[in-house]
Amino acid sequence: MSTQFIPTQIKQRHTGPAKGSHDASDICRCHEPSEGIVVNGESYLPARRSVPIVSVRQLDQGVIELVICDRYMAEHARPAQFANLFTHDGLRLMPRPFGICEICGDEVSFIFAIVGAGTAQFAQMKAGDSIDVLGPLGKTFDLTSPDARYILVGGGLGVPPLIQAAQYLHDSGRENRTTAIFGYRKHHFADSIVGQYSDDVRSIDEEQGNVITVLDSMDAELRQISDPVVILSCGPTPMMKAVAFWASSRGIATQFNLEERMGCGYGTCVVCVVDTIHGRKKVCLEGPVFTAQELGWESER
By the criterion CB under 6 A, which residues form the site for ligand FMN? 263, 269, 271
Strands 82-86 and 96-99, sheet pairing: antiparallel
Nearest alpha carbon to residue 232 among 253, 251, 249: 253
Q: CB neighbours (10 Å) of residue 4? A: 10
> Does 4 sit near another protein (CB under 8 A)?
no
> Does 128 sit near another protein (CB under 8 A)?
no
Whole-Å CA distances, 189 to 150, 182, 192: 21, 10, 7
Count of chain residues binding another protein (CB under 8 A): 41
For another protein, which stretch binds (CB under 8 A), given 47-55, 99-107, 177-185, 186-194?
A: 47-55
The Cα–Cα gap between 237 and 100 comes to: 19
> Does 296 sit near another protein (CB under 8 A)?
no
> Residue 228, preceding bond cis, omega within 30 degrees?
no
Q: List the x/- string, 211-250, binding to another protein by CB under 8 A.
A: ----------------------------------------
- Decide whether 94 or 113 has the Cβ nearer to ligand FMN: 94
C-alpha angle with apex 107: 101 to 111, nearest 5 degrees? 30
Among 66, 69, 77, 134, binds another protein (CB under 8 A): 134
Please give the backbone phi and psi of residue 296, each rounded to the nearest 5 degrees, phi first. Answer: 65, 30
CB of 267 to ligand FMN, least distance (A): 12
144 makes contact, choosing from ligand FMN, another protein, none, with CB < 5 to 8 Å by partner type, with none
Q: Residue ranges of the alpha helices (H) in the chain? A: 24-30, 71-76, 117-124, 160-171, 191-195, 211-217, 219-224, 237-248, 292-295
Q: What torsion do the CA atoms of 146, 202, 293, 96 make, to the nearest 10 degrees?
A: 100
Q: Annotated binding residue at 272?
A: yes
Q: Annotated binding residue at 144?
A: no
Among 121, 196, 210, 276, binds another protein (CB under 8 A): 121
How many Cα atoms are found within 13 Å in the side-chain-facing hemisphere of 174? 21
- Decide whether 195 or 263 has the Cβ nearer to ligand FMN: 263
88 makes contact, choosing from ligand FMN, another protein, none, with CB < 5 to 8 Å by partner type, with another protein
Residues annotated in a binding site for FAD: 118-119
- Site residues (vs another protein, CB under 8 A): 37, 39-40, 42, 44-50, 86, 88-95, 118, 121, 124, 132, 134, 260-264, 266-274, 280, 285
